[in-house]
Amino acid sequence: MKRSAAILLFTLGAILGITAPALADGDRIGGDVHVAQTLGDRDLTVIIRRVAEVPGPVHVDVVTHAGSPPGELILTARAAGAATSTAKVVLGATPGFYSGVVEVDRPGPWELAVDEATIPFVVPALVSSPWENATYGGFIAAGALLFLALLFAVFGKPGLALVPTAGVIAAIAVGVTAALLSPSIPPVAAPGTQLDPTFGNVNDPYQRTSTVDFSRPPVNLVPTMKGEDLVLSLTDGSSGRPVDDLLVHDSAFVHLVVVSPSGNLRHLHPIRTAPGEYRARLSAAEQGTHAIAAEIARRGGGVQLLRSSVEVPGTATVQANDGKADLATEIREAGRPTTITARFGDRELQPWLGMLGHMIVIGPISGNAVNAPIWAHVHSMIPPTPGMPDRPDESVAAYGPDVPFTYSFPLPGRYLVWIQVERDYTIVTVPTVVDVPAAKGVSGR
């Protein structure tokens, strides 16, 4: 009897010694948050670096671009019931990276104020998943029961040793089952992606919620001019309340395209100044009706393209986009994919908004762009490059010279097209006009 118990205990000890709990899914520390901001006359990218520990520092990089005036920015980290932390960032005349550090003392929803702009972000908590707890708990319990069984065996009580031995088997079964099943169990959505983040659900994302349908109604857009600023009012299409649940989408809360009466394009990224209110400066704007389109991603609502127009009481000055590139294209008939390749000379392009390049398409044009039925925002992705990071930021200038875009123009006619890239911290905008023929046997518009 003693020999049998000893063999069984030795076998279980060997199993326990060679078995390690698998890594289970759970809340992971969030990555860097990149947010483009048109702050007054400055075109900035604010990078909130990954929070390594709480309480602890939050490193913030502010990337300036050509034409942004030097000066000072005040960074303020604040949250309900938490201590406020501020830092000053001195922006130089040379475009590039400038840094500041603020402090956070707890996980949960926070807000970073950059002068009058406010950027909501979430400081995640390190929370173990239930199946991770079951994995480690099972093996810890098995170790404790194994020690107890060994004591009974040493003191000559093999009958009593069988009881904790059976517990060891059960505990190992729990731990192994949880470890094996954990990779196939989908992780819970981190608060802030589908659910509005709170201090409660950030620290306990596995708490029960009555929410089943995370979808939200479309957004209403009302643009107005206040001096030189274009103010966007975003309201819920169902309740009429301000919409304050926008997600960072392609490194911005709002991608705003403004086209003047003469066809000049501005690609702006309005700052959040209040719940449901975003603002962007239109310096030296052309007088007349400007067509606008705002691309947003709402929590639980997906990506939406909101279109409108606004009367701008500006000057009669026409400022044309004047970027240059060699364009290689063979326009195919409507409904078939066309590839447009822009060549910019050297391999010195930087990522902008997480992409190698952007192409804005508006058409077919008949008078003002306000009446164009098609608006599209096409990306040229960053190619995987050996030795380069998977998600390079604007400090990496090693891409190009060719920037390809593939797009199927859905209707025949004339389209206004703008290609945008970043070089030397300067946003280069190349305008062109594309005439798309009708498909054979199909009459044009």
Compute φ and ψ for 166, nearest 5 degrees: -60, -35
Token duo for residue 372? 């164009």
Q: With CA atoms as reference, report the closest residue to 294 among 340, 244, 352, 231.
A: 231
Ranges of the chain with pLDDT below 50: 1-29, 444-445
Rg, Å, the chain Cα set: 29
- Write down the pLDDT at residue 212: 65
| Fold exhibited by the domain 33-123 | Immunoglobulin-like (2.60.40)
* Secondary structure (DSSP) of 243-307: P--BPP-SS-SEEEEEE-TT--EEEE-PEEEETTEEEEE-TTPBSEEEEEEEEEEETTTEEEEEE
Q: Is it true that domain 219-312 has CATH number 3.40.50.150?
A: no
- Write down the pLDDT at residue 8: 38
Assess whether the region 33-123 and the region 219-312 belong to the same CATH fold: yes
DSSP-assigned beta bridge partners for residue 130: none
Distance CA 426, CA 232 (A): 26
- Write down the pLDDT at residue 3: 42
CA 123 vs CA 40, 127, 279, 327: distances in Å = 28, 12, 26, 44
Token duo for residue 85? 């932390």
pLDDT digits (tens, 9 = 90+) for 365-381: 988 899 999 999 999 99
| Fold exhibited by the domain 326-436 | Immunoglobulin-like (2.60.40)
Say whether 321 sits in a helix, a strand or coil: coil
- Write down the pLDDT at residue 210: 66
Token duo for residue 152? 């009974």
- The domain ranges of the chain are 2-26+128-184, 33-123, 219-312, 326-436
Residue 229 per-residue DSSP state = E
- Write down the pLDDT at residue 360: 98
- Write down the pLDDT at residue 325: 94
Compute φ and ψ for 12, nearest 5 degrees: -65, -35
- Write down the pLDDT at residue 23: 32
- For CA atoms 37, 39, 43, 44, the dihedral sign is negative
- Write down the pLDDT at residue 131: 75
pTM over the 0.85 mark: no
- Write down the pLDDT at residue 18: 35
- Write down the pLDDT at residue 26: 33
